[in-house]
Structure 1
């Protein structure tokens, strides 16, 4: 079995510097957050390119390099069908949902529910959204720590702290969680978007290195020879253009879920409504669609190389419950030079932090704008809380949810594959919750209570079917945790697992109740008037003012330019300490690439300054 590198002093320098840069962005951009609209919406002035890059990066985080790579390691070409599914989903945003989110003219994601249905619907969704999203954030932190602890090389070590003994993995998890909390409380949407843009640049540069280098290494210096070797030595059926062990129903269900996730997920809507002009939503969606088709392929193919290089990867990572999920990090540790390894780890770390920040930010917006403000106004007889109080509530919400997410993530290491955890949590509630949003934006003839009824019925039906499926399999139901056991069965000749069952039951029941509710239209004049106002807004284009570009937008381009240039200079400097000639070249060329990105964004800032 090949010997893997571990991070050395060069990599630790890069990681520390990178985290300081990211935290520095949060501190610097905090000056923009004069009002809650700045903190939660970037004042509606996010540049489309930065918003689009943030939209793309916040959609995958470390999941793509851990859970998705583990799936590809096991299933081969089927991973291409799975992880390019965002391509089709973004085109729905291009033609419909991007402009509808912008036309809704809202300041928090769930304000859409208040306008489309009722304030009660927003309260209902707020309650049922918090717990699943805390679980998902716990999954994200857990997934990220698989990558980080593996790269740092002390995931299997234990440390005696006197009153308790903890593993290196647990220390990594808690440490990253604390850094994440500090950053998210300082942040705001401006900080999220700017750092996301930097993460895209770094991950793009990493991709340009890992993809060709993996095949060149496999081919002993020849890319084509490496490709031929992968084809020859891959397991039987691994490279067939078929689904292999994955059912057509599973892949179809995954695509359907992405149609929800990449169009009506709350952080997606936040990116669309936070730009000035609805025409820019088309640019964002088209850009994300194209990148979502090609980038995953460039990440998936190196994992297939990893399958050939490490056929028994469990021997490398005996301490991991799902060692195949370390396939991408194993490849990086094997072929990349020290120094650049620090950049890879930092980029995926920061991208995941930004992804979590996105979720924390919209959750804080919902709790603040859609729960705290209406309740406080009722208690104060119509007086709205000050912006300062709203910001405090938002930051305390981030802190509280973050602490719970860290606690939950500590439990996941005892459960198993993060991919399975993610899919099961996501599928339990998401289809039922998002059906009234996905359909309700385009079909506006249902009454004020239809969103709650549809989502509630869908979630209840999904939960009941989980109980029925476990009982039918002859498994015990002694506790709530037993309800979430993975089972499989056949229905109408098709193989079902919990994931497929949850999604289709949620869609069928939620959608059925939603359309059935149209038989009882709104009769209350206030409900009729509110829905008519939304209908008028959704039919009216939301164009930005034809005037000078907002100074904050220009400044955001400059920040990205300076950070990219700094990363480039750091990599070029590290190349002098990289040792072997090939390592020097990789670090130096990647540094030059980062510098070119910095030059591009600087020129872009100057262009908009001159307009």
Structure 2
């Protein structure tokens, strides 16, 4: 990286930090802090949900799959889009309709306080460890791209690059602070800004990568045989269908995504946000997975996990590498901030207020929300720093808990629609799925305790068909159990009656919120700065002036259009 790259990265990090601090004025109540006061525009919510799916793994794992297997990586990611569209049609509006501030509030109404405790701690452990691994992986990737002078206190003398410890502390600390200050508003707006930076960097790479390989025709000609197949031996049609179903549960019921449907102004807006999320995932995977696919034809012997980074280094001009580093940071920052905000909201509202201080004022709850955000952030950074010393234990935790995503989230989806299932459905689904997961994935896994001569054939089949087993445990078993329990129980569950009462109270209150225009203003300002940055990079490069100027001009034009439409909307509101 050149000095201009560090400058660009620094400007970006300072910018999102300041946006988070600026948005702190919006948090006057716990509803503002954790549900954006119901004033989030649908497009802000949709873009934020889109970014929440990203992490460092998007570039490392999916980039590696795209480099090795080609188009099938794109097809797998399109499944997220199909799942999100299904969520928009069936689920998203229900979250807003109930008038709850957090998903945990719905869990308590529908299944009781014990279910909230179980979901809170089970999902928190899963997400904290998983996000910590992502933060650690991101830092590993970024420090490799960031050499420093030997005298720099942030430098690791053994590598000459940014110290991994400092990378985790700096990158994690920035996310924690802006999430703590700005709450869900900061999460939403920084996600939107990160969406802009991510796509700007990727759109910039694609034409340069095509040019380096000789054009589209040369890419198609040089690509390996089967590179554009829609499926493979590992990623079959069965896998793709199961991938859609398990992510239908995830997008429809995981708390970070459900919060996006709660924070908008109406049921219609919640549906639109999910449709935007789904539409983007039907269009964008080809765009941001093209660089490693193209790089396969440039360097067929590269490490797949480094393909994305190597493609960036090969084609990006000075200054744009810093923007790409910012984009990679953005991918994980979005996931981190979303999880910090949603669990800080649960600890504040469902644990602190309900169990410890029911008479707490809204101002006090906002303060406690910030305290919980800092505490969770400290734990997250601490776990990230400990990853090298855990001896692979974090992989076991993630493997076990990832098997529980379907069993944990499927009952929530059922609870939105089925009058009959109650708390027993959660315990039954989780218990059976967990035991099966332990037996099939751990006990009969490689070097498992249950592997013997009599079970060796079964163990070999399970290990060779790991994705199929995951889908059976995560989708087939939970759906089958919940279906049986729905038809087995004839009476209406008490939790359903509580939810109906809540909905009736919300309808009777007749509270109406309007989407804020502030997000559009912030986005317009960000695009203007990005456009000016493109022009500012021209003197620092010996070539590529035209493409930098074109990108800058397009961004300035989009900015003008955004402010034009904001002005029109403001005039309509006045009349």
Pick from 329, 332, 335 the counterpart of residue 352 of structure 1: 332
- Cα-to-partner distance string for 1:519-569 (whole Å, 9 max, x where unaligned): 456689x6564144257689x799984x9x55xx12222122112212221
2:129 aligned partner: 135
**What is the Cα deviation at residue 17 of structure 1?**
0.9
- Which residues of structure 2 form unaligned runs of 5+? 452-457
2:79/2:240 contact within 8 Å kept: no
**What is the Cα deviation at residue 143 of structure 1?**
3.1
Following the alignment from structure 1 to structure 2, what is the Cα–Cα distance between the partners of residues 255 and 54?
Answer: 20
Pick from 265, 270, 279 the counterpart of residue 254 of structure 2: 265
Instruction: Verify: 1:68 aligned to 2:62, yes or no.
Output: yes
Pick from 540, 551, 555 the counterpart of residue 577 of structure 1: 540
Pick from 413, 419, 443 the counterpart of residue 438 of structure 1: 413
Instruction: Verify: 1:210 aligned to 2:205, yes or no.
Output: yes
- Cα-to-partner distance string for 1:65-111 (whole Å, 9 max, x where unaligned): 22211121122222122111112112212211111111121101211
Following the alignment from structure 1 to structure 2, what is the Cα–Cα distance between the partners of residues 423 and 251?
Answer: 22
2:190 aligned partner: 195
Pick from 284, 288, 306 the counterpart of residue 299 of structure 1: 288
Following the alignment from structure 2 to structure 1, what is the Cα–Cα distance between the partners of residues 228 and 509?
Answer: 47
Instruction: Verify: 1:367 aligned to 2:328, yes or no.
Output: no
Following the alignment from structure 2 to structure 1, what is the Cα–Cα distance between the partners of residues 534 and 33?
Answer: 33
Instruction: Verify: 1:404 aligned to 2:379, yes or no.
Output: yes
Instruction: Verify: 1:606 aligned to 2:553, yes or no.
Output: no
**What is the Cα deviation at residue 375 of structure 1?**
0.8
1:154/1:168 contact within 8 Å kept: no
Following the alignment from structure 2 to structure 1, what is the Cα–Cα distance between the partners of residues 55 and 535?
Answer: 26
Following the alignment from structure 1 to structure 2, what is the Cα–Cα distance between the partners of residues 607 and 422?
Answer: 52
1:427-506 correspondence to structure 2 within 5 Å: 427-470=402-445, 473-475=446-448, 489-490=460-461, 495-497=464-466, 499-506=467-474
1:281 aligned partner: 270
Following the alignment from structure 1 to structure 2, what is the Cα–Cα distance between the partners of residues 450 and 426?
Answer: 19
2:461 alignment partner, SS class: strand
Following the alignment from structure 2 to structure 1, what is the Cα–Cα distance between the partners of residues 36 and 400?
Answer: 30
More helix by share: 2
**What is the Cα deviation at residue 23 of structure 1?**
0.6
Instruction: Verify: 1:19 aligned to 2:2, yes or no.
Output: no
After superposition, the Cα gap between the structure-2 partners of 1:359 and 1:244, relative to the gap in structure 1 and judged at 3 Å, is: same
TM-score by length of 2: 0.88
1:447/1:520 contact within 8 Å kept: no
Instruction: Verify: 1:228 aligned to 2:217, yes or no.
Output: yes
**What is the Cα deviation at residue 454 of structure 1?**
2.7
Instruction: Verify: 1:51 aligned to 2:48, yes or no.
Output: no
2:166 aligned partner: 171
1:340 aligned partner: 320
1:360/1:398 contact within 8 Å kept: yes
Following the alignment from structure 1 to structure 2, what is the Cα–Cα distance between the partners of residues 313 and 158?
Answer: 27
Following the alignment from structure 1 to structure 2, what is the Cα–Cα distance between the partners of residues 290 and 523?
Answer: 37
After superposition, the Cα gap between the structure-2 partners of 1:169 and 1:48, relative to the gap in structure 1 and judged at 3 Å, is: same
**What is the Cα deviation at residue 287 of structure 1?**
2.1
2:104 aligned partner: 110
Pick from 125, 146, 151 the counterpart of residue 152 of structure 1: 146
After superposition, the Cα gap between the structure-2 partners of 1:506 and 1:541, relative to the gap in structure 1 and judged at 3 Å, is: farther
**What is the Cα deviation at residue 16 of structure 1?**
0.8
Following the alignment from structure 2 to structure 1, what is the Cα–Cα distance between the partners of residues 68 and 510?
Answer: 47
Following the alignment from structure 2 to structure 1, what is the Cα–Cα distance between the partners of residues 125 and 408?
Answer: 13
Pick from 299, 307, 328 the counterpart of residue 310 of structure 1: 299
Following the alignment from structure 2 to structure 1, what is the Cα–Cα distance between the partners of residues 541 and 406?
Answer: 49
Q: Which moved more, 1:78-87 or 1:403-412?
A: 403-412
Following the alignment from structure 1 to structure 2, what is the Cα–Cα distance between the partners of residues 543 and 331?
Answer: 54
1:301 alignment partner, SS class: helix
1:565 aligned partner: 528
Instruction: Verify: 1:77 aligned to 2:60, yes or no.
Output: no
RMSD: 3.3
Pick from 552, 556, 560 the counterpart of residue 519 of structure 2: 556
- Which residues of structure 1 form unaligned runs of 5+? 1-6, 220-225, 315-323, 378-382, 479-486
Q: Count how many residue pairs are aligned between Structure 1 and Structure 2.
A: 559
**What is the Cα deviation at residue 367 of structure 1?**
1.3
Instruction: Verify: 1:387 aligned to 2:382, yes or no.
Output: no
2:55/2:332 contact within 8 Å kept: yes
Q: Which moved more, 1:280-289 or 1:264-273?
A: 280-289
1:252 aligned partner: 241
1:190 alignment partner, SS class: helix
Following the alignment from structure 1 to structure 2, what is the Cα–Cα distance between the partners of residues 356 and 297?
Answer: 25
**What is the Cα deviation at residue 57 of structure 1?**
1.7
1:105 alignment partner, SS class: coil
Following the alignment from structure 1 to structure 2, what is the Cα–Cα distance between the partners of residues 77 and 425?
Answer: 29
Following the alignment from structure 2 to structure 1, what is the Cα–Cα distance between the partners of residues 504 and 121?
Answer: 29
Q: Which moved more, 1:449-458 or 1:127-136?
A: 449-458
1:145 alignment partner, SS class: helix
2:99/2:502 contact within 8 Å kept: no
**What is the Cα deviation at residue 434 of structure 1?**
0.5
**What is the Cα deviation at residue 20 of structure 1?**
1.0
